[in-house]
Amino acid sequence: MENIVLFSAVKANAGLDFVTPLKAVLDSHWYVLGNEVKLFEEEFAKYVGVNHCISVANGSDALELALKGLSVGSGDSVIAVANAGFYGSTAIHAVGAKPFYIDIDPVSLTICPKALAAVIETKPSAVIVTHLYGQLANIEEIVRIASAAGVPVLEDCAQSHGARRNGKQCGSFGTIACFSFYPTKNLGALGDGGAIITDDDQLAKRIRQLRQYGWTQKYQVSIPGGRNSRLDEMQAAILRVKLPHLDAWNEQRRSIAKRYSDAFATLDMQLPSSTDEDYVAHLYVVRVKDRAAFAAALKEKMVNTDIHYPIADHKQPAYAVDQVASLEETEQTCEKVISLPCYPGLTDQEVDRVIEAVTAYFTEGK
């Protein structure tokens, strides 16, 4: 009996023709900032429903360049959550700013609007809203609170490609948004990749300069803080093949998540808050009282699990943080979360095995 793995980018790619577009790139002899990148940027912007998409080398660069685009820099404060794997925190530190962590909503595990409202008058330079595990945060209320205070909202959509609410796409609510195309993402390349999207013409222009050395024109560096961060033509070609399938893949993920949630509804565990279109099931994350025992029991039945994420950002040893706001929900969550396999290509039989393993843990004694 084979292990049921946590991620599989391979199964989702089955049956897709990558050879033809890759050959076309090779035949063009143009590998950086060519036609494939141009077309992908246009197609992804149209898919999300915004005016501009600026592709970059990876999701981490996207976050850093987005903050630079917003002119966030040394000594500035950026509001963020501390349960999202330190990715946003990495970008905040990279631009010389300081993270101001606030607590999460105990149901959605995303940024808590009440916690934001309580500190917004400190006048942070930006708010990073992470749509964690594929779950759209209460983004409308967050944007309302931040906009009233004149604070830009940066949506971190690395785990939430295609999530929607009231006809609007994830990434189209705030001032600016970032995506990762790491291979295991809902829309993944065959290597690293990322993108920044916005409706703001001037912001888009600035970020296009920042991704390529700060150039106004070739070899003329006009703005500071630029770098070399570009999506290559081959990855853009791959993403163009995969983008039309994203909604169908997301529905497959949601279908698996719904089966899990229906099967686990009476068990002593906390489940994802939604299986509707505002959740694209990048990860199916539950909360249990004894995570180690739960993981060990599933491992015996050849079901892999992982923890996203075990260490809260404000407790990471690399950085000292003067934490002001209470992070009680965040800290409790980091002790309990555990992820179950959920991805396109997971067979009905494999889903059944996960359900049986989880159910057995709670019904047959621990």
53-86: per-residue pLDDT in tens? 999 999 999 999 999 999 999 999 999 999 999 9
- In terms of residue numbers, what domain contains 127? 9-244
In a shared domain, residues 129 and 149: yes
User: What average pLDDT score do residues 305-327 get?
Assistant: 93
The 3-state secondary structure of the chain, one letter per residue: CCCECCCCHHHHHCCCCCHHHHHHHHHHCCCECCHHHHHHHHHHHHHHCCCEEEEECCHHHHHHHHHHHCCCCCCCEEEECCCCCCHHHHHHHHCCCEEEECCECCCCCCECHHHHHHHHHHCCCEEEEECHHHECCCHHHHHHHHHHCCCCEEEECCCCCCCEECCEECCCCCCEEEEECCCCCCCCCCCCCEEEEECCHHHHHHHHHHCECCEEECCEECCCCCCECCCEHHHHHHHHHHHHHHHHHHHHHHHHHHHHHHHHCCCCCECCCCCCCCECCCCEEEECCCHHHHHHHHHHCCECCECCCCCCHHHCCCCCCCCCCCCHHHHHHHHHEEEECCCCCCCHHHHHHHHHHHHHHHHCCC
User: What average pLDDT score do residues 127-150 get?
Assistant: 98
> For the chain, what is the domain count?
2
In this prediction, residue 14 carries a pLDDT of 74
In a shared domain, residues 156 and 100: yes
In a shared domain, residues 238 and 250: no
Among the three residues 200, 219, 244, which one is the final residue of a domain in this structure? Answer: 244
pLDDT tens for 89-101 read 999 999 999 999 9
At 184, which CATH number? 3.40.640.10
Banded model confidence at residue 366, pLDDT cuts 50, 70, 90: low
Q: What is the mean pLDDT of the chain?
A: 96
pLDDT tops 80 at residue 12: no
In a shared domain, residues 336 and 229: no
Q: What is the pTM of this model?
A: 0.96
Among the three residues 244, 275, 303, which one is the final residue of a domain in this structure? Answer: 244
